[in-house]
Amino acid sequence: MAKKRVLIVDDDEDLVRILSVNLLAEGLEVSTAFDGMSAVMRAHKDQPDLIILDIKMPAGDGFSVAERLKSSTKTFAVPIIFLSALPKEDMEEKALKAGALRYFAKPFDMGVLMNYIKNHLGVDRERSAASS
């Protein structure tokens, strides 16, 4: 079965590296982008199963990226999780209105995020089905 693909979009390279390591350890494929422009291009090229998207970034914030992805026939159905240091009270509703599955505020619990991603992508179910 093909590996599930996750696109991580954040201008914090350390965070991208940490997320990448954790997702790869779960058996997922990972691609990355560090700004809004490259996020849209990478999403069209890689056709990810899920996008983890920061809000405050250079070359297009997360909301404009989400809007562009949702208006493209190639990427409109790709689920988005927003991950941001902006206050949850201000951003969560806006993120959900922008079409996000979920909003995680930084700092976040890596275990909770990984479980959410695995559950959403059905990773554990696939693994146990493949090994039985």
Fold topology of 5-123: Rossmann fold (3.40.50)
Instruction: Find how far residue 9's CA is from the centre of its chain.
Output: 7
Compute the distance between CA of residue 93 and CA of residue 66 in angstroms, rounded to an integer.
Answer: 14
Q: Pick from 92, 90, 51, 89: which is nearest to 70 by CA?
A: 51
Q: Which residues pair with 84 in a beta bridge?
A: 105
Question: What is the per-residue pLDDT across 103-113, written as a single tens digit (0 to 9) for each?
Answer: 999 999 999 99
Check residue 60 and give its pLDDT: 87
Question: What is the per-residue pLDDT across 79-116, written as a single tens digit (0 to 9) for each?
Answer: 999 999 988 888 899 999 999 999 999 999 999 999 99
Question: What is the per-residue pLDDT across 24-63, written as a single tens digit (0 to 9) for each?
Answer: 999 999 999 999 999 999 999 999 999 999 999 988 899 9
